[in-house]
Amino acid sequence: MHIDFDQVEEQLIQQPRGGQGTFGIRQYVTEHNRVFRGRLLPGSGFGLHSHDTSSETMFFISGTGKMVTPAGEERVFPGAVQHCPKGGSHYLVNDGEEDLVFYGVIPEHGA
């Protein structure tokens, strides 16, 4: 199945997951899966959140930022991939000067 995110309406979310700033998301959602292209504006970030019943894999396309997990902090940049396993927690911050753009996949694994 082909998903053309340019044809999907972007939703703008303020203070995503209790964080700061603005996150733009174009997503395709099914019962057990979410696939999206996200755009985190400069100075914006997600609040700390956990994936109790899901995991998340993120593929970074443009911009720079930092991903913070209980294991520490890592830089994200074009070509970087981050994975948060089921039961893990993380938050993401765009500390660069341009939009941080990435694709993400969040499959539900159940309780």
Domain 11-107 classification at class level: mainly beta
Tell me the per-residue pLDDT of 77-92, one tens digit each, with 9 for 90 and over.
999 999 999 999 999 9
Query: Which tokens is 44 given?
Result: 């914006």
Check pLDDT > 80 for residue 111.
Answer: no
Distance CA(42)–CA(98), nearest Å, equals: 6
Q: Read off the pLDDT band of 16 (50, 70, 90).
A: very high
pTM: 0.94
Q: So what's the pLDDT on residue 110?
A: 81
